[in-house]
Amino acid sequence: MAASSTGWHDAGQASLDTRFFVDDGLWRDAPMLTGKGSFEPRADVKNILVTGGEGFIASWLVRHLVTKYSEAYNVVSFDKLDYCSSLNNARMLESRPNFNFFHGDLTNPDDVLECLRRYKIDTVFHLAAHTHVDLSFGNSYNFTKTNVVGTHVLLESAIAVGTIKRFYHISTDEVYGEVEKDAADLTEHSSLWPTNPYAASKAAAEMMVMAYARSFKLPAVVVRLNNVYGPHQYPEKIIPKFINLLQRKRPLWIHGDGQHTRRYLYAGDAADAFDTVLHKGVIGQIYNVDSRDEISNLDLARQLLDVFGIANAEGWTEHTKDRPFNDRRYAVDGSKLRKLGWKQSVSFESGLAATVDWYGRFGEWWGEIDAILSPFPVVERDQVVSTPLKAGCAPVPALTEEETGVGAKEEHAHAMVNGHNERNGVAAKKRKAGDMA
């Protein structure tokens, strides 16, 4: 272990894997994908750090800020280059004077402090994280390490340099946990009730941010988004995974009964939401970013089969064992952000079509990805290493209700959600809507 104040950092943590630095030129033909809007630049913002900038959502934000605010803001993409990242995501910016890439590990205070000081950072968008729920069941220490300890390091470093005027912490609807069908959408003051290690680590990270806002007056904002999809997403998440499977004429794996629903937001809309929060949001607040497009995994599979012109779905879906716990749905209310002027502008239909088209043209973006196209992939030493078909993970063509435990699970989920809503009612009385302090 290298000397470090956290004790969590291994020497050489930031990947030196040469595959990340191979430039096959593919990005040259790629469109510059960003959000749509822009604002009058803020006078008090000059040098912006985006952590996880070579990953999916953060790269949309990086491209957006660099191109829409080329005269006003300098942007630094800070990334460890984990298995899911690609330098291709920002290579089209390399010739721009207001863009820089810093290869560093969030859990290493030396890296973070050096970056903050070198670029005189005044504004932070924190998105770097371990993000794949499936992996968090088998590899959960990594999630705590990056998402909680990494956030802690960033917060400590922000306080140490003393130059940070705005700290935007990007979180997820998963921190609220499961929401019962037909229950009211959760607002920013609903209580947090995460159900998987990923969601728990994100909730824990939020607690650290709130503590630093309170104790050290860190000017922080928390943003919680629904599921995001679109071009540049590593094909471990359901939409790009399904697209890549269909491109290879392989069936789609559905966890459990496939009735779990998610709300999906196009990545360009997410970039616009961050832009809105940066220019119109209020320090000390929490903002949900919601989508109106809710769809079950099974219906998503059907919709994609349709996009691929496969009329008869038979044989194209295979049900697998479910996750250890799989939230039936998430539902957040984003009206607070909409009052600032943001709105979802890309319909699911057109966003999906654009995404399918992009993967058709840029399927080689991450190099070899076959290992990730399995029902429950495994990551070891920052690499996707296998497509395990061991007990509990094997594709099962048709599961009975008894096998999936759907009936029992629904009962259990119902009980938990009822408890959740009661708790939310109590929390709501004690706090002003979405106020961190």
Ligand X SMILES: NC(=O)c1ccc[n+]([C@@H]2O[C@H](COP(=O)([O-])OP(=O)(O)OC[C@H]3O[C@@H](n4cnc5c(N)ncnc54)[C@H](O)[C@@H]3O)[C@@H](O)[C@H]2O)c1
What is the contact surface with ligand X in residues (CB under 6 A)?
52, 54-58, 79-82, 84-85, 105-107, 127-131, 146, 150, 170, 172, 202, 225, 227-228, 234
DSSP label of 222? E
Q: Which two tokens stand for residue 287?
A: 């903002």
* Residue closer to ligand X, measured from CB, 173 or 257: 173
What span, in angstroms and rounded, lies between the C-alpha atoms of 58 and 39?
Answer: 19
Give the residue with the Cβ less far from ligand X, 240 or 404: 240
Query: Smallest distance, Å, CB 134 to ligand X?
Result: 12
Asked if 201 contacts 136 with a C-beta cutoff of 8 angstroms, the reply is yes
Angstrom distance (rounded) from CA 384 to CA 369? 8
Residues 236-248 as b or e (16 or more Cβ within 10 Å = b): bbbbbbbbbbbee
- What CA–CA distance (Å, rounded) separates 158 from 30? 35
The strand pair at 99-103 and 220-225 is best described as unpaired
Is 82 a residue of the active site? no
Measured from the CB of residue 157, what is the shortest distance to ligand X in angstroms? 12
Quote the least distance from Cβ 240 to ligand X, whole Å.
10
Does the active-site annotation cover 174?
yes
- For residue 397, the minimal CB distance to ligand X (Å) is 29
Question: Contact at 8 Å (CB) between 316 and 301?
Answer: yes
Catalytic residue (choose from 82, 156, 173, 322): 173
CB nearer to ligand X: give 70 or 383.
383
State the catalytic residue, choosing from 69, 83, 198, 264: 198
| Catalytically annotated residue among 54, 156, 174, 188 | 174
Shortest distance, position 309 Cβ to ligand X, whole Å: 27
Nearest to ligand X of 82, 134 (CB atom):
82
Residue type, 111: D
Choice between 57 and 436, CB closer to ligand X: 57
Q: Is 182 marked active-site?
A: no
Count of CB atoms within 10 A of residue 314's CB?
Answer: 6
Residue with the CB atom nearest ligand X in the bound state: 55
Residues with Cβ < 8 Å from 210, sequence gap 6 or more? Answer: 220, 222, 436
Annotated catalytic residues are: 173-174, 198
